[in-house]
Amino acid sequence: MSNFQEKISFIWDLADLLRDVYKRNEYQKVILPFTVLKRFDCALSDSKKAVLETYNRYKGQFENLEPVLLSVAKDKTGNPLGFYNYSKYDFKALLEDPEHIEQNLMHYLDCFSGNVHDIFENFKIKERIRELAKADLLFRLVKKFSESKVDLHPDIVSNHEMGTIFEELIRKFAEQSNEEAGEHFTPRDVVNVMTRLIFVENGENLEQRNIIKTVYDPACGTGGMLTSCEDFITSINKEVDVVLFGQEVNPEIYAICKADMLMKGENDKNIRGPFSTLSKDQFHDDKFDFIISNPPYGRKWEQDADAVKNEAEKGFGGRFGAGLPRINDGQLLFLQHMISKMKLKEKSRVAVITNGSPLFTGDAGQGESDIRKWMIESDCVEAIIALPDQLFFNTGIHTYIWVLTNEKPSERVGKIQLIDATTFFLKMRKSLGNKRNYLSADDIKEIVGLYDDFEENKYCKIFDNEVFGYTKVIVERPLQLNYQVTEERLENLYSVKAFAKLAESKKKNPELKLKEEEEGRKKQEEIINALKAIENNLYKNWDEFEARVKEALKGFDLSPNFIKNIILALSEHDDSADYVPDKKGNKLPDSNLRDSEKIPLKQDIEKYFEKEVKPYYPDAWMDRKNDKIGYEINFTKYFYKYKPPRPLEKIEKDIKEVTGEIQELFGEG
């Protein structure tokens, strides 16, 4: 479309009308629904007369006129639109009665089919109309939208171009109001590579006749990923019946997605919202052939917490049986959700994009690691592709595409492919928000080729699943202490809970309270004075020092635990001291020296310990009863590129230059 960008600019400029009535971050609440309304108005124009005649002919004769009106609401080529409007008004007719434009526009909205009502209710368009009428802006806005520059008829603006107009408007409005545009749609180049990755192994299957394929996006935004998948499938085989499903939580974005699907002839009932997928799954019993999504990352899921935790208690009878991540990031919940939507007896594939957090956040035994453990041990992780930074409108961070499946090809069974595509990009001529890089057609072809070839090279590594797993083993070192009665160490007694409590009182009577506290402080002083009677020698054996302490405090009737804590307060770590034994004579561990080792699953734990720990800590031992299995995927580790430090001569030269500049500045001052 030659004037495609012109239409975006013209619609964008309409926001100037709203400047004194709406805040900048509210412009889209008016412009987006009116853009959708204008698109509907244009699409309905070809059969407007036929629908109106049919309505007037049959009104009052049938309880439900919807099937009849839907049958006559068609485009130029005779294809059903899937929606209708039986009002006599359109944008042109509304302008002919300026004094009653508010009432007439409300009537116009009421005459749409039910599926369109849902769209405009989520836009809250009637509230906007009342506000615009009150500000004397409604007629002016409708007039502006009626100009030829905003002709959004499908003959002028294709469905694909209309979707792009929506996305561009959302992005521009979000930039103006510092909102997260990228939460609602993903750049087309990223969608393109995800689409090809999800279908690269299904070319032959998609060429069959009379087949139905379902595609689902649990965070569908404006629906761009769903549309991309359908376009790709039909480019291979136009005979495939592609059925799209999506759920979106944001009311306005849900409304745009549903409107876009409706205008494209899709089943708009399969777009559901505005509900959170995590807490209100609208496809509870459904399974899908292909699942693709860019769920929110780094987003807290506390609003969904009650529902998610309740479902997690069902174990694998629900969607979150593998575990729960920490509350500040729900990406691994979405990954579990998408895996739960794979078909049980047929092949399903997933392409999902995340940031780096799901790869490595969380230690062994924690929710994130347990989820990775389940995913990898279930052998559903086929490949992970590291993308360049600065690809998205709302963030410049590195992102990763996960390719998941419930039926790997034989050569991929038990393996995970990692692809480092961080250098495959071109610079944009003009930045769009944080998006400064893009994936060219050649970049996408190379990424998909690396995946499809399944051969190791400098960009591609292939590992057995177990490589990403490890056993976290607790390593203990013996407790070694020296003991001495000094003024400094005696001060430590006040941090001993039982000792501090001696000077506390729970009495409510002030006089009794003061009296009891005074008696307690006196007892504290007596204990300290008794301990001072022990000569100021340095002891290195617990039993020897314990005997001296017990002798000094024998008149105080203190519990064994109280005495033990006093000894600890008078002690310090000393590698040359004797080991502190337990009652059975075994070495007690020093909790301050406690450490852990992550031992790869493929390595023998005992041999690892003897080789990697014992040479440095000969008296250390492993506490195997607390072993935990963890999984993490560290791209940097597998694609590490050594960068030599800068030569000292260059560093010295830079320092001299900076020093000279500073001296010049001071000289000028």
pLDDT tens track for 546-576 = 999 999 999 898 999 999 999 999 999 999 9
- Distance CA(423)–CA(459), nearest Å, equals 10
pLDDT of residue 2: 47
Kindly state the percentage of the chain with pLDDT values over 90. Answer: 74
Long-range contacts: 155-163, Cβ < 8 Å, 24+?
155/76, 156/1, 156/42, 157/1, 157/4, 157/7, 157/39, 158/1, 159/260, 159/263, 159/264, 160/227, 160/231, 161/1, 161/4, 162/39, 162/260, 162/263, 163/222, 163/223, 163/224, 163/227, 163/260
Which CATH architecture does the domain made up of 182-467 adopt?
3-Layer(aba) Sandwich (3.40)
- State the alpha helices, DSSP H only, in 458-538: 487-490, 497-501, 510-532
Q: What is the mean pLDDT of the chain?
A: 91
How does DSSP classify residue 664?
H
Please choose, from the candidates 306, 205, 217, 210, the residue with its C-alpha nearest in 3D space to the C-alpha of residue 254. Answer: 217
pLDDT of residue 184: 57
| Span 169-190, average pLDDT | 71
* Distances 570 to 435, 479, 485, 538, 641 between C-alpha atoms, Å: 61, 15, 6, 11, 51
Answer for the pair 436, 390: CB distance below 8 angstroms, yes or no: yes
Answer for the pair 343, 289: CB distance below 8 angstroms, yes or no: yes
Residue count of the chain: 669
Strand 241-247 to 212-217 pairing: parallel
- Distance CA(366)–CA(358), nearest Å, equals 12
Strand 271-272 to 621-631 pairing: unpaired
- Minimum mean pLDDT among 72-76, 203-207, 227-231, 433-437: which range? 203-207
Answer for the pair 95, 143: CB distance below 8 angstroms, yes or no: yes
pLDDT of residue 463 exceeding 90, the answer is yes
Please choose, from the candidates 438, 463, 455, the residue with its C-alpha nearest in 3D space to the C-alpha of residue 187. Answer: 438
pLDDT of residue 183: 56
pLDDT of residue 619: 94
pLDDT of residue 641: 75
Q: How many beta carbons lie within 10 A of that of residue 486, not counting itself? A: 12
| Span 307-319, average pLDDT | 96
Tell me the per-residue pLDDT of 383-402, one tens digit each, with 9 for 90 and over. Answer: 999 999 999 887 888 999 99
pLDDT of residue 16: 86
